[in-house]
Amino acid sequence: MTNARDEGFVLLETLVAFLVLAVGLTAAIGAVSQATLAVRGASEASRAADLAREVATVEMQALTGLGATTGEFEDRGAWRLVARELPDGGAIPLLAVTIEIRPAGASRAYRFESFALGAAP
């Protein structure tokens, strides 16, 4: 036989257990949310790297001078390529090339940098 005091103690234990469970579930939901955002960001960065590779393959082959060139991908985003000469004093100019990619639907733009040899004088 239980008395009222024992029943109150069991109720208190149950409430504390629910509180601990609620705190644990809240932390787990937060961790899943952060993981989802990280996966989405990694997917955007991967897509931007693929698009930058496409731009580099086509545009750096045809790179004839300094300055900026812009373009768009069919429903996949926009890009901007900037080429500037580095002061190395060599016979063949060394170009610093920056490619900025904004994939369609992405939360930010991504910047990639590389080097290319310019045309011999």
Domain boundaries, the chain: 4-117
Residues 77-101: what's their mean pLDDT?
A: 85
pTM of the predicted protein model? 0.67
Report pLDDT for 94: 83
Which is more confidently placed, 31 or 1? Answer: 31
Predicted local distance difference test score (pLDDT) of residue 17: 92
Judged against a pLDDT cut of 80, whether residue 97 lies above it is answered with yes
pLDDT in the model for residue 3: 63
Average pLDDT over residues 38-46: 90
73: left (phi over 0), alpha (psi -120 to 50) or beta: beta
Rounded Cα distance between 110 and 100, Å, is 6
Predicted pLDDT at 75: 83
Kindly report the number of other CB atoms within 10 A of residue 79's CB atom. Answer: 25
Please, which residues bridge with residue 111 across strands?
100
Q: Are 67 and 83 in contact (CB under 8 A)?
A: yes
Q: CA–CA separation, 38 vs 50, rounded Å? A: 18
Q: What is the pLDDT of residue 4?
A: 57
Average pLDDT value for residue range 85-112 = 85
- The conformation of residue 43, written as its DSSP 8-state character, comes to H
Query: Residue 104: pLDDT above 80?
Result: yes
- Nearest in space to 114 (alpha carbons), one of 73, 63, 70: 63
